[in-house]
């Protein structure tokens, strides 16, 4: 299990960000699991990430993913990629007025939300538009322990490229919508800005 925590020293009050990789000898969800600290990294960034959504948070998550990968923490890196995918999809839904919850107040399944958003705004690049949810499944399989760390590390770079493809596709859609609006043409509603995300 990957635990990302912002800690504060009780003596001096200094804050530090620490990432723990916790292992378990048995079932992590049992009543009294036996856990151990496998690895930790301190001060990966000067501060914990911003609480707001948008470009800064996407860049923050991308950086965290890369740091995890560089530290050979494949599952941790994939968690951040999945978070980016979920976050950008939710932002795109809100930007075009697609509800992220059902009529009973419960969140829509990610598959359902992704299909609605992509049908409306085409956030998945055409090169893998029929496999948008397959990317999410790939990221989730790693996170849920269906892959070992070596497999997760091998999958990280191609998954990162595909997630960045979605982020950049949304950014391009927004830039095109702004250009159309500036010319006074009727065009699609601009999606949430992810300008500044880099590979």
Above 90 in pLDDT, residue 154? yes
DSSP characters over 79-122? HHHHHHHHHHHHHHHHHTT--SB-TTSPBPPHHHHHHHHHHHH-
| Residue whose entry in the numeric block shows the structure tokens 């978070």 | 83
Per-residue pLDDT, averaged over 122-149, amounts to 83
pLDDT digits (tens, 9 = 90+) for 63-114: 889 988 988 888 889 999 999 999 999 988 988 899 998 888 888 999 999 9
Per-residue pLDDT, averaged over 33-61, amounts to 65
What is the rounded CA–CA span in Å between residue 151 and residue 118? Answer: 29
Please say whether the beta carbons of 88 and 94 come within 8 A. Answer: no
Above 60 in pLDDT, residue 43? no
Please report, rounded to a whole number, the percentage of residues in the chain having pLDDT higher than 70: 85
pLDDT digits (tens, 9 = 90+) for 113-126: 999 999 988 889 88
More confident residue, 193 or 113: 113
Please report, rounded to a whole number, the percentage of residues in the chain having pLDDT higher than 90: 21
C-alpha Rg value of the chain to the nearest Å: 19
């Amino acid at each position: 299990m990957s635990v990302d925590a912002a800690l504060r020293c009780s003596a001096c009050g200094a804050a530090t960000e620490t990432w723990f990789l916790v292992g378990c000898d048995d079932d992590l969800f049992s009543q009294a699991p036996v856990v151990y600290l496998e690895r930790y990294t301190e001060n990966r960034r000067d501060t914990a990430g911003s609480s707001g959504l948008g470009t800064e948070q996407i860049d923050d998550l991308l950086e965290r993913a890369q740091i995890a990968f560089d530290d050979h923490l494949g599952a941790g890196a994939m968690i951040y990629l999945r978070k980016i995918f979920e976050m950008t999809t939710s932002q795109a839904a809100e930007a075009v007025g697609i509800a992220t919850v059902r009529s009973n107040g419960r969140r829509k399944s990610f598959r359902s939300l992704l299909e609605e958003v992509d049908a409306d705004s085409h956030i998945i690049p055409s090169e893998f538009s029929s496999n948008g949810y397959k990317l999410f499944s790939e990221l989730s399989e790693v996170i849920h322990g269906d892959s070992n760390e070596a497999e997760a590390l091998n999958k990280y770079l191609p998954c990162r490229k595909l997630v960045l493809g979605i982020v950049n596709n949304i950014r391009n859609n927004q830039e095109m919508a702004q250009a159309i609006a500036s010319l006074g043409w009727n065009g699609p509603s601009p999606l949430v800005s992810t300008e500044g995300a880099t590979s």
